[in-house]
Amino acid sequence: MSFPSYATLSLEPRGEHVLLVRLNRPDVLNAINTQMGRDQLDLWTRLSSEPGALRCVVVTGAGDRAFCAGGDLKERDGMTQAEWQAQHEIFERAFVALVECTVPVIAAVNGHAYGGGLEMALCCDFIYAVPGARFAQSEVRLGIMPGGMGTQNLPRAVGERRAKELIFSARPFSAAEALEWGLVNRVCEPPRLIEEALATAQAIADNAPLSVRQAKKSIHCGLQMDLATGYRFEIEAYNRLVDTADRREGVKAFNEKRKPKFEGS
């Protein structure tokens, strides 16, 4: 599929089914300004509504210092309350569009992820990081609080009590700690971070895309429900796959001992 040219994002197709997205404001540690909010909102919405052949996305930061330093405080300096809230409305919609994106999104955290940068990574399906990455939910130091799902996604990742400690103290933590607490899936040496994230993206892309999207939806929505209701939702998602060409191809390929050719139909 084709994309518009984004002022703050660099898009690099990697084969037919995988897309590498770079947050592209390295001079300010890829901080989120209003334009980046608009660009992300458009991208994640577009990927959900018109994925085309795309089956997985890796998002990382440009440069080697930061994934994303959070909101651009220089742009925010002197904003009125109305201007701040108008900007934040764009950010809110971008975060929701990312967390609800039907295509799997892997965060490849190549450096610091602070404030909204950590929240952005948490809105992705899972996270790989370099050993030197540092994380912080640092908003209370600025007289605000997490506003990009941080108070919701961080407790779900590391548990309520750990999240309270991290959010209330605003204390940075390491990639090793993030891995130990379950926030990060894998720590990769810098030269291999993108390579390993893309390899996992390709493994996802090799599977039936409708199956992956239905599974993602079931996990995301089911975690908001009790177990019995979540299971009923899972079965509804499952049943929508039974009468698909990909399901028939998958079973046929298994019996013919060959690799399936999934078309997303």
Selecting among 16, 50, 83, 139, the annotated active-site residue is: 139
Q: For 161, phi and psi rounded to 5 degrees? A: -70, -40
Q: For 181, phi and psi rounded to 5 degrees? A: -85, -5
Of 53, 8, 1, nearest to 35 by C-alpha is 8
- Chain centroid, CA 159 distance in Å: 19
Q: What are the structure tokens assigned to 222, written together?
A: 């089911």
Selecting among 119, 177, 189, 195, the annotated active-site residue is: 119
Catalytic: 165? Answer: no
d(CA 183, CA 207): 25
Catalytic: 50? Answer: no
The burial of 101, by beta-carbon neighbours within 10 Å (0-12 exposed, 13-18 middle, 19 or more buried), is given as buried
- Cβ 36 vs Cβ 23: under 8 Å: yes
Q: List % helix, strand, coil for the chain (3-state, nearest 5).
A: 50, 15, 30
Of 219, 254, 248, 249, nearest to 234 by C-alpha is 219
d(CA 148, CA 84): 14
Return the active site residues: 119, 139
